[in-house]
Amino acid sequence: LGKKSVLASFLFILLFISVGCSDDSVQPESRLNDYVKLWNKQDFEEMYTDYLSASTKESYKSEDFIDRYEKVYSDLGITDLKVETAFEGEQDREDKEKVTLPIKVKMNSIAGEIEFDKDVELKKETRDEEENWYINWDTTFILPDLQKDEKIGIKSTKAQRGEIFDRNGKGLAINGTAQQVGIVPEQFDDAKKAEVAKILDNTTEYIDKQLNQSWVEPSLFVPIQKIAKDDKERIEQLNAIDGVQFSETAVREYPYKESAAHLTGYVGTITAEELEKHKDKGYSASSVIGKRGLEELLEEQLRGKDGYTIYIDREEPAVIAETEPEDGQSVTLMVDADLQKTAYTNMKGVAGTFSAVQPETGDVLALVSSPSFDPNDFILGMSAENYKKLEENAKQPLLNRFAATFSPGSSIKPLIAMIGLNAGTLDPNKTIDISGLKWSKGEEWGNASITRVTDPKRPVDLEAALQYSDNIYFAQTALAIGEDKLISGLKDLGVGEEKFPLEYPIRASQISNDGKLTSSKLLADTGYGQGEVLMSLVHLASLYGGIVQDGTLMKPRLFETTEAAVWKESITSSDNAALLKKDMRKVVTDGTATAAKSDQFALAGKTGTELKESQDEKGQENGLFVAYDQNNPNAVMSILVENVQDEGGGKAVQKMVLQTFEKWEAEGRN
């Protein structure tokens, strides 16, 4: 071989020997990369068992590592953990037994982002006759500058919950105050314990539990129970007992109490189930959350975000992360709180519901469910016994009736007339001549019949049919309209749509259970508001508002931030609307609603008192009345009272509406 060939062969052999004899053991860079992957997965057990150096394990037991990581990450609400190595490839190093490599740690916490750089020292150790690289760990890996025996502190600054106001700025749900009742043990006579328990509607066992807490000392004020600041009778009784004292405390307050309870709802301490449902949203076990009504519906908007400071607890605390509290957003409703209260008061605890809508704007002025409950009782502490009473009350005060749908009864008749007028199948001047109180299509209906309340002894036109609420007239009107046109006409009024267009979840109105009116008996029954048609009272009031507005049906709106908008452009002609308004005025002056006659108002509207288990039997009867003042048509009010036969009948229902108009007028209409 030539010299060049010999040299090339020699170099090849050297290269072969160099490659073949290279150190193929795990390198510290790849070892740290694997550790970082486990860290990002928060697999703290494997991190401790397989990656920490022997000296680290001598200083830190598994619970000092695994349990502390898990507790710290849980308590600090750590999310979006991202640990990265801050080097590329293998690093040059002189020491073959120890090496330092950089990493970057980034995470989100309840107090905001935490980010720090860290130099990680790895050392070579032999275990089970195998060499590998292990990490010298300390508590600065958890948080920067955290020493072994130091504790991490969390300080919270509460955000103010957004408040709920009515259209005039009156508070429906506000951040108010209550009286915290407490006992100073050294000043208190134990013989008075039963008396205090009775005043607070509580038990001596509960008071003992509070007084026997580990932190209690004889001279300290021990909180027992909150009571309303305007509960003057109980405050006076408790003030007379030595050792009982008061302190003002911040609470959520509902000034309109029962009258707006189903609308506002209330807040309460979050449950374990709610905490799981809303995990990763910043709630803790002590958080307050909306439980019903608008408090629940608008939780995200109202709640705000508490401020947090994470710090290392020292003589001079070292702040790790900090965020300022962000107060929740307040909400203004189009509701008139005084009208809401007036309507509720005038219902006198009967089971039913009331709605009021402003025709020109669609503003929902009132949404009432009766009977009700005081949401302040839940804030101050609702006993299990009192809650059981609410649950077992036959009138179901916990049921939100304004969100439900009901058979509209005869209050649907102006709407059926409107559909007939629009379709050209109803001539308002044409009379029908029916003798007696019953009418049937014989065998086609299985000999079932339709009953009317009054036989006027003369032919009946539209005006008379509305005036005397003639079921037979409107059954025949529906048959003349026909299934297709009646369904189409009801859909034009929003009946049968999938969703009712209000910001509060109101059940959608339906035409029938299957959306069809195939049976002629069902078609006829629908004409006078029986059958299977169901409507909410706020929908009913809105539709009457469309008649008041000469055919323009406004979209109902609850929030001030929602722009007024037309829902249905033209539900009827202005001529048809004028005819219906004239006829509905006659219902009050000379028809079924004479109990609502007044020299002060020119009320017009329609009654509905025909919902029974069977038309031929006595049974449950719901009384309805929808009315507005033709001289000042700024509100359509609708009311439904359940079991009206036990509550004074239809006349009592009409008087409730009249009294509401009177009180609202006296207080100054808005």
The set of catalytic residues is 410
Helices (H), 561-648: 574-590
Between the CA of residue 511 and those of 355, 413, 492, 493, 638, what are the distances in Å?
Answer: 21, 14, 12, 11, 20
The C-alpha atoms of residue 347 and residue 659 are separated, in whole angstroms, by 10
Report the sign of the C-alpha dihedral through residues 571, 573, 575, 576, in that order. negative
DSSP 109: E
The C-alpha atoms of residue 550 and residue 359 are separated, in whole angstroms, by 10
CA nearest 253: which of 427, 379, 114? 379
Please enumerate in sequence order all residues whose Cβ is within 8 A of that of 398, keeping only pairs 6 or more positions apart, or say none. Answer: 373, 390, 391
Three-state secondary structure call for residue 165:
strand
Query: Which residue bears the tokens 């809303």?
Result: 278
The C-alpha atoms of residue 161 and residue 154 are separated, in whole angstroms, by 21
Hey, how many other C-beta atoms are within 10 angstroms of the C-beta on 59?
Answer: 14
Helices (H), 334-448: 337-346, 375-380, 384-392, 413-423
Report the phi/psi class of residue 7: left, alpha or beta, with left for phi > 0 and alpha for psi in -120 to 50: alpha
The C-alpha atoms of residue 533 and residue 344 are separated, in whole angstroms, by 26
Query: Tell me, what amino acid is at 615?
Result: Q
CA nearest 249: which of 227, 220, 221? 227
Contact 166, 60 (CB under 8 A): no
The C-alpha atoms of residue 464 and residue 634 are separated, in whole angstroms, by 27
Contact 243, 189 (CB under 8 A): yes
The C-alpha atoms of residue 592 and residue 21 are separated, in whole angstroms, by 108
The C-alpha atoms of residue 450 and residue 329 are separated, in whole angstroms, by 54
Hey, how many other C-beta atoms are within 10 angstroms of the C-beta on 307?
Answer: 18
Between the CA of residue 67 and those of 64, 79, 365, what are the distances in Å?
Answer: 6, 18, 56
The C-alpha atoms of residue 651 and residue 664 are separated, in whole angstroms, by 20
The C-alpha atoms of residue 615 and residue 448 are separated, in whole angstroms, by 10
354: enclosing H helix or E strand: strand 352-357
Three-state secondary structure call for residue 287:
coil
